[in-house]
């Protein structure tokens, strides 16, 4: 039977002759932290750096400032392994965009197939309300997926800025839509002290698995109505009930929600008075009729400006001014109220 000597590789008896081959089978471990090093023809060592491996990276030799090394770099990069797309495109006719990638794959994905962030929307039923309207209503919300899956949706239904509803907490494949009842402090609908308007805002937030975020908001407002009408009857403060009934029967442009007394009107009269009714908190009016100032309209000293206690269709009570023309008029009139 033949006899084989098995010296340790560190033993001086072990020698690998030039041009011979050493074949290692199985798993070869390098137990020292500096790993494996090669030597070039001049006796200089070439370190092999193989830490922090990521998918698609291969060991590549590069000459870094005259010092050679073998390191992990993106695969398929050839002699120039890093693709620098941390710069804007420069060719004429190509959109000026910076991809910020280190590989050709990252550049192609970012330039031709960029990720699109999700979009969102939120709307409130009855978002424009008259003071006294304290009814319940709903928020309609949606978050639309573009590139990455939606994994988080939050809805603020109380108007305090926090997302108290979280209908989505894990990834979903499609879009999200939902409806939520919103709440608000009662003093917004019926303030104890007269104000021009009150409001509250609600919001929705959506987030993807890539941490892209979208937010949207909507606002619910309460206001008073301002009214105008024409009539052959001369009304005064003693006709409060009649005037209240006329106002509560008006609609459209004759009964608009507003936050000031300012208004521009073009009307035709047939021996009729002009009446303008609005909250007293807006202050006394100034009239320009057919382009000229008219101090006879809306003047308390002549009785063409007076006030009543008005209860609107929602049951909310406040003090209103009623301004009118000093006489019946006929024809076309341009009326500017400030």
Per-domain boundaries in the chain:
37-112, 119-222, 225-337
Out of 46-55, 177-186, 294-303, least confident range: 46-55
Report whether 279 contacts 194 (CB < 8 A).
yes
Tokens describing residue 113: 């197939």
Tokens describing residue 47: 């370190």
Contacts of 316 (CB under 8 A, 6+ apart): 130, 131, 132, 190
Rounded average pLDDT over 275-301: 97
Write the pLDDT tens digit of every residue in 142-160. Answer: 999 999 999 999 999 999 9
For residue 77, name the pLDDT band (cuts at 50, 70, 90): very low
Per-residue model confidence (pLDDT) at position 32: 65
Per-residue model confidence (pLDDT) at position 186: 97
| pTM for this entry | 0.71
* 119-222 has CATH 2.60.40.1930 classification: yes
pLDDT of 78 over the 60 cut: no
Per-residue model confidence (pLDDT) at position 199: 98
Report whether 137 contacts 110 (CB < 8 A).
no
């Amino acid at each position: 039977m033949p006899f084989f000597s098995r010296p340790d590789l560190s033993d001086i008896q072990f020698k690998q002759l030039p041009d011979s081959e050493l074949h290692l089978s199985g798993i070869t471990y390098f137990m020292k932290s500096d790993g494996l090093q090669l030597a070039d023809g001049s006796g200089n060592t070439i370190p092999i750096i193989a830490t922090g491996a990521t998918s698609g990276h291969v060991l590549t030799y590069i000459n870094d400032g005259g010092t050679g090394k073998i390191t992990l770099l993106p695969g398929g990069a050839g002699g120039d392994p890093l693709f620098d797309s941390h710069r804007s495109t420069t060719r004429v006719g190509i959109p000026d965009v910076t991809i910020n990638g280190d590989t050709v794959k990252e550049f192609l994905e970012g330039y031709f197939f960029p990720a699109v962030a999700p979009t969102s929307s939120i709307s409130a039923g009855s978002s424009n309300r008259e003071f006294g309207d304290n009814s319940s209503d709903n928020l309609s919300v949606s978050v639309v997926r573009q590139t990455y899956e939606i994994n988080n949706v939050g809805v603020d239904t109380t108007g305090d800025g926090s997302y108290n509803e979280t209908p989505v907490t894990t990834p979903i494949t499609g879009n999200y839509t939902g409806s939520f009842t919103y709440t608000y402090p009662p003093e917004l609908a019926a303030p104890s002290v007269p104000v021009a308007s009150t409001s509250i805002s609600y919001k929705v937030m959506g987030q993807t698995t890539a941490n892209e975020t979208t937010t949207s908001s909507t606002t619910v407002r309460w206001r008073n109505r301002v009214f105008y009408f024409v009539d052959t009857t001369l009304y005064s403060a003693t006709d409060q009930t009649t005037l209240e009934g006329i106002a509560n029967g008006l609609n459209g442009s004759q009964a608009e929600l507003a936050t000031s007394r300012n208004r521009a009107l073009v009307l035709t009269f047939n021996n009729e008075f002009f009446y303008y009714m609005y909250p007293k908190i807006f202050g006394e009016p100034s009239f320009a009729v057919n382009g000229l100032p008219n101090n006879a309209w809306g003047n308390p000293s002549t009785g063409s400006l007076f006030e009543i206690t008005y209860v609107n269709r929602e049951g909310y009570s406040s003090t209103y001014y009623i301004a009118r023309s000093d006489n019946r008029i006929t024809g076309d009139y341009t009326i500017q109220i400030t």
